[in-house]
Chain A
């Protein structure tokens, strides 16, 4: 069964991993920002990151990461949330607005003008690093031995 929240999880994750200022810039190019009311104004805090012993075993606390979160509501009642890494209040606001607007008629416009650009930028960034890593992959070869 498909996860009913899959789409929303994907766009929230995409915006959380975007470069600083990118979501806000794309949103402002796509449309004028609508009025909204804060449910929770942007707030900076931390999240404890966990790992697993041996990569697969029991969880342990690795250390914290800074996170900014906020929640807002549009005049139509749609609620937008943002939880994004770093201390980035303006980015959190933009991400929560896009999250709320994705639940309105503006969804198609934002998918094309914001989300797809974010996705392309992330794919390009990841592929460039992967290609640089691939260039440092060792190609072993066996030396010809002296004796026959």
Chain B
């Protein structure tokens, strides 16, 4: 029950003023600019854009500053801002096969057209703290080598030629949009992919990890992981043709999974798919594993009752803004609710005491 109460305005104002002061911290230390956050905390910016579901580097950096580095709070700010924007339309599906790749690796094929390109990765670092960074040292320039201008084809395209992997046939069904219609079950794959693309990284990671540990085991290989830029193209109604309206960085992961075959399909490899805004490879790999686990029904696999196979469980708990909104609301005043609970407990205790007295008397 919600009842309006007054009071607390001065306390709230003062709390917010103190918050602003604490956000700034010690004023003898230089303040952080939004540009510094955008350029130097870029993976945090990427996460806020992905889960905030809005690609805008400067807004994400501003949200991180305002949220004092609390990324879920920053994502909340971005989601709130997003709702104020008029929607001009939808883009043509991005062509990830034409990505200008910063990174492109395959765990399944050593020698592949386009090669194994490591890109700016934490992989193979020793995870030792680098005290030179604390001393604000100069960064050496990255090495350069002549690049091969040939396009970098998707790894799954090779397996496809032999018919060894499930096809992902071209289709132009307009996708459902959970920002327009509430997420309802059963959710088709397009809706699941939208929900997973903006899902909490930690939740998605843990769900994906659970499939690796045996809860709905589907033995995934990273067929391909690529990070780079793609053009965003949109049909402009007043012009009557499509134009490129910008360029965004994406991370794409395709997993290749064992599949013993079913009544209708021969034994072949199946696929899980992850696509996320920014350089966000932990999230993209996790998304691909969870996508694959959720496909059990359409692939004719058994539901072994694993959490990652349960679309309702996964999709209704994956959104960190919904989750934190409901979780954190219980700290807000519930005085009237609690008053009625108090009355109830007192009444129950009186009844128990009365019956005990009666039993003793009898």
Over the window 101-142 of chain A, the binary record of Cβ atoms lying under 8 Å from chain B Cβ atoms (1 yes, 0 no) is: 000000000000000000000000011111111111110100
- A65 vs B154: C-alpha distance in the bound complex, in angstroms? 25
Assuming the A-B contacts A59-B174, A62-B194, A66-B54, are A133 and B243 also in contact, with contact meaning beta carbons closer than 8 angstroms in the complex?
Answer: no
Contact B147 A84 (CB under 8 A): no
Is B85 an interface position by the 8 A CB rule? Answer: yes
Contact residues of A between 17 and 50, Cβ < 8 Å to B: 17, 43-50
B175 close to A59 (CB less than 8 A): yes
Query: Is A77's CB within 8 Å of the partner chain B?
Result: no
Q: Do A84 and B246 touch across chains, with their CB atoms under 8 A apart? A: yes
A-B contact count (CB 8 A): 237
A1 within 8 A of B: no
Give Cα A62 to B239, complex, Å: 25
* B86: interface (CB < 8 Å): yes
Contact of B85 among A17, A46, A51, A81 (CB under 8 A): A46
Interface segment out of the listed B7-15, B66-74, B88-96, B302-310: B88-96
Q: Is the CB of A133 within 8 A of B117?
A: yes
Contact in complex: B55, A133 (CB < 8 Å): no
B263 at the interface (CB under 8 A from A): no
Which residues of the partner chain B approach A146 to less than 8 Å between Cβ atoms?
none
Within the assembled complex, what's the spacing in Å between the Cα atoms of A89 and B87? 17
**A46-B87, A132-B142, A133-B117 known; A12-B275 Cβ under 8 A:** no
Contacts of B186 on A, CB cut-off 8 Å?
none
Contacts of A87 in B (CB 8 A): 56, 58-59
| Contact call A52/B116, Cβ cutoff below 8 A | no
B117 and A61 within 8 A (CB): no
Is residue B197 within 8 Å, beta carbon to beta carbon, of the partner chain?
Answer: yes
Task: Report whether B56 and A66 are in contact in the complex, using a CB–CB cutoff of 8 Å.
Answer: yes
- Taking the closest CB of chain A, its distance from the CB of B271, in whole angstroms, is 5
| B110 at interface, CB cutoff 8 A | yes
Q: Which residue, A17, A131, A136, has most C-beta atoms of chain B within 10 A?
A: A136
- Contact indicator B55/A63 (Cβ below 8 Å): yes
A135 to chain B, nearest CB (A): 4
Asked if residues B194 and A61 are in contact (CB atoms below 8 Å), the reply is yes
Give complex CA distance A50, B148 in Å.
28
Min Cβ gap A77→B in Å is 16
- Distance to closest chain A CB from B13 (angstroms): 30
Mark B221-258 against chain A: 1 for CB-CB distance below 8 A, else 0.
Answer: 00000000001101010111111111110101010000
Contact yes or no, B116 A53, CB < 8 A: no
Contact check, A131 vs B144: say whether CB atoms are below 8 A apart: yes
Are the CB atoms of A49 and B232 closer together than 8 Å? yes
Q: Which of B128-149 contact A (CB under 8 A)?
A: 142-149
- Contact with B145, one of A9, A67, A134 (Cβ below 8 angstroms): A134
Q: A85 on the interface (CB 8 Å rule)?
A: yes
Taking CB atoms, residues of chain B closer than 8 Å to A45 are 85-88
Chain B's closest residue to A136 (CB) is B118
Point out the residues of chain A lying under 8 angstroms from B110, CB to CB.
140
B175 touches A83 (CB 8 A): no
Any chain B CB within 8 A of the CB of A57? Answer: yes
Check A12 against B244 for contact (C-beta < 8 Å).
Answer: yes
Q: Is the CB of A61 within 8 A of B190?
A: yes
Between-chain CB contacts (< 8 Å), 29 pairs: A13-B245, A16-B244, A46-B87, A46-B88, A47-B89, A47-B232, A48-B179, A49-B232, A50-B92, A52-B168, A55-B252, A55-B273, A56-B170, A58-B189, A60-B175, A61-B175, A62-B197, A63-B50, A63-B198, A71-B238, A83-B243, A85-B232, A85-B247, A86-B56, A87-B59, A129-B102, A133-B102, A133-B117, A137-B116
Residues of B within 8 A of A (CB): 49-50, 53-56, 58-59, 82, 85-94, 96-97, 100-103, 110-111, 115-121, 142-149, 154, 156, 168-179, 189-191, 193-194, 197-198, 231-232, 234, 236, 238-248, 250, 252, 254, 271, 273, 275, 277
